[in-house]
Structure 1
């Protein structure tokens, strides 16, 4: 699609929409400011994942107090988020493409943090589901805005590292979620219930949600103080004003459907493996190795952080140097790393030695971290600036519908129906984890082959 042939959006004018300053040749922000923006987004992403993944460590006490099955808990872990994306993800992406992104990020943080606090007050499944759906606003707002902001702050040959560091927030956030939960569990190990001002008597697992949600108020305020980066116009769209019509975005995706669908689905299948595994990782350690819940939280969190550091930061920096940091070279690198990760995916759930299991899991998660960290930078390299947040929202929608919406539940359903014994969850993980990686690797290789036919 040639953007020069697209009509202006209805109601557009020569004045950019509020919050927009489109400049094609403007210098990038100073390195100090650029990295401060990445640091703030990194911290926000950490807390997004803390609030999202905390439930993974608290499965057993939640099931006991609310009388839930593994499948019901899996719906709280994933489907509640996926449902929100279905309703609001794409409209939010359109909003991000035209509005001040920093303010929208602040609003998103405030909403998801408040909903996390509400998770600490629920008394039944339906209340919990509604609150968890509200927490989903974090992913729906934060990542499309972050991808757009970071791509306007760094040149192409440094974009992989910047995106990798931002993406590392997911691994550290998930790891810290398990660690924070472990600390809370250890602190209240002998208390069935705790008295909290205003709320009264609540269960110990509910305290963890209250602690996780409260810092979001302060993080949101930071984004109200940060400057809005200049939106850099992709060559060929300099004359356009206002927002690109949705019909133009759809036409662009249609003309590049093989490329983008392969990228979206590849990361979605990798996410299916990862989220279908880590959502149940502490539970697997408790049920299969006889570990205490706090110890399982510490080990799970440590493995996630180690794998994320190696894959997202190391992989991002390496991809900036291989093949000149082109989108094609990044896709090939991700594909081969996913192939390597298949071996870890197949091994870690079945190993009986904790050390060997930990090594295999780090290999498994490192491979995922490479692909999940690189995919956004590839999309930003390919997509015209004025479509980036909308297409990023579509990307986030697809990967979370597949990964978050299906991963935890697919693992739980396989475990409940085919391995209905205490350690059965490990065998369910051993099926889901390699399956998603095999599909993801194939799709990444297809995307790399089709990238030369990409049309602007």
Structure 2
């Protein structure tokens, strides 16, 4: 039976906190499984005989292609079926795929395993966003999303710390003999360590989280809840095409910088400063934990603050502030010395770059009607995955391999690709504020006319 959560019920606050906490824990685990690959770039390239471009396909396209595509049908289910069940199945799937990454002995096998990680993780975020929107009022949604987004950086930091520790532990060992598996490379052990705990979290999630009551549902003349198909979600997007064009493209370029640096920063510090994987893991683990963690929480607070002060486009404005703060240090950090100064500028980049996560999500959730929220989120994640995660990481590799012709010049690639992306995101987010305000006003008028729930209307405006 669905638990009714209201402010008058003292258990509701504790339960909401628990749901955010366990969803954040799942997000942490997903980023641990996703991010560990980047720290092990050199041994994986050596043992599987890969180029930078091939490695970028493993860390970007392999994960993002089905992460984005599978997000669409999964989000449709999340708008109709039990969201905790969907999330539990997803956690189990990506944990098994991470473990299989440790069995890979070729580029093709690793590519398929990383595809599996993407398929599993596609279940988490759209369903979690949808649940949060039913659990929290819009003036508190930014903080909840900020805490959830913090999970990505706690996970990224943990991946760097754990990966650095495990690599340091087995640095003098080329192969390890495991029962039932046989001899494996030392880096493969890391995937076994990271993948298996997720199965326990999947079971805990399934047993302890209940699907919250959905609010603002569209109903037919008889009062029954009306199911909304993907075509109606697309119609809603078309009705606000200008708003979502600026939002999706602007935040995708913004995300390209943040997510690309998470993938390529380890290679940059390994090659440019001669650091070993353990040193890089600990250094980047600290940067991600402090800078990204503070940035995503401050970004969520800023969204709520601007919204509370009467700015309907508060989420877009918060994203714009972050993009402006990010663009100069992302150009400079690969070219300064010593390493401490470079890491400090990277930390500034990561702090402002993290504003994108709560800002982009809050903008989608407050504008979209209840029954299309997960689907709209999935469509955004599809574009973000293919452009920022897939395209952004591969573009840096192509510039390094094909234009500059030397993997030692990766810093120049990072400055060039992500500097341009940052400038473009500033322009698009600034231009998107006015259309977003107009869309919010139209949706509020529609909701006032439809007290049982605003039905997506592609013909509006």
Contact 2:24 2:149 (C-alpha < 8 Å) held by counterparts: yes
Distance in 1 of aligned mates of 2:325 and 2:162:
31
Deviations 1:88-144 (Å, cap 9, x if unpaired)?
221111011111000110000000000000000011011111110000024311110
Does residue 407 of the first structure (1) align with residue 392 of the second (2)?
yes
The number of equivalent residue pairs is 438
| Aligned-partner Cα distance in 1 for 2:17–2:158 | 22
Aligned equivalents of 1:24, 1:310: Cα separation in 2:
30
Given the two structures, how large is their TM-score scaled by the length of structure 2? 0.90
Residue matched to 1:96: 78
Q: Residue 201 of structure 1 aligns to a residue in which SS?
A: strand
Indicate if the aligned counterparts of 1:165 and 1:313 stay in contact, CA closer than 8 A.
Answer: yes
Answer yes or no: is 1:260 the counterpart of 2:244: yes
Q: Is the 8 A contact 2:94 2:121 kept in 1?
A: no
Alpha carbons 2:219, 2:226 under 8 Å: kept: no
1:134: which partner in 2? 116
Indicate the SS of the match to 1:280.
helix
Distance 2:64 2:341 in 1: 34
The correspondence of residues 211-222 of structure 1 with structure 2, limited to 5 A, is 211-222=193-204
Give the drift of 1:227: 3.2
Q: For residue 275 of structure 1, what is the aligned residue in structure 2?
A: 259
Correspondence for 2:292: 308
Contact 1:349 1:426 in 2 (8 A): yes
* Residue matched to 2:231: 247
Is 1:56 the counterpart of 2:38? The answer is yes
* Cα distance between partner residues in 2 of 1:117 and 1:168: 24
Runs of 4+ residues deviating >4 angstroms: 19-29, 235-240
Partner residue in 2 for 1:234: 216
Rate the CA distance shift 1:233–1:28 in 2: closer, same or farther, 3 A: farther
**What is the CA distance between 1:236 and its match in structure 2?**
6.3
Q: Distance in 2 between matches of 1:151 and 1:28?
A: 19
The CA deviation at 1:235 is: 7.4
What 5-or-longer segments of structure 2 have no aligned partner? 444-461
In structure 2, do the counterparts of structure 1 residues 23 and 55 end up closer, same or farther at CA, with 3 Å as the change threshold?
closer
Deviations 1:9-37 (A, max 9, x none): xxxxxxxxxx9899999979711111111
- Counterparts of 1:67-146 in structure 2, within 5 Å, are 67-85=49-67, 87-146=69-128
Compared CA separation, residues 264 and 193, structure 1 to 2 (3 A): same
**CA separation of 1:197 and 1:184: change in aligned 2, threshold 3 A:** same
SS at match of 1:195: strand
2:132 maps to what in 1? 150
The answer (yes or no) to whether the contact 2:217–2:370 under 8 Å persists in 1 is no
User: In structure 1, how many angstroms separate the alpha carbons of the residues matched to 2:224 and 2:431?
Assistant: 33
Residues 194-209 of structure 1 correspond to what in structure 2 (within 5 A)? Answer: 194-209=176-191
Superposed displacement of residue 374, structure 1: 1.9
Bigger mean CA deviation after superposition, 67-76 or 348-357: 348-357
How far did residue 297 of structure 1 move? 1.1
Asked whether the equivalents of residues 168 and 373 of structure 1 are also in contact (C-alpha less than 8 Å), the reply is: no
Match of 1:448 among 422, 433, 446: 433
Counterpart among 353, 367, 373 of residue 388 in structure 1: 373
DSSP 3-state at the match of 2:183: strand
Whether the 8 Å CA contact 1:347–1:360 is kept in 2: the answer is yes
- CA distance change for structure 1 residues 268 and 28 in 2, over 3 Å: closer, same or farther? farther
User: Aligned equivalents of 1:401 and 1:314: distance in 2?
Assistant: 27
Deviation at 1:315, TM superposition (A): 2.1
Separation in 2, partners of 1:336, 1:327: 16
Q: Which digits, 9 at most, give the CA deviation of each residue in 1:178-215, with x for residues without a partner?
A: 11110111110111101111111100000011111011
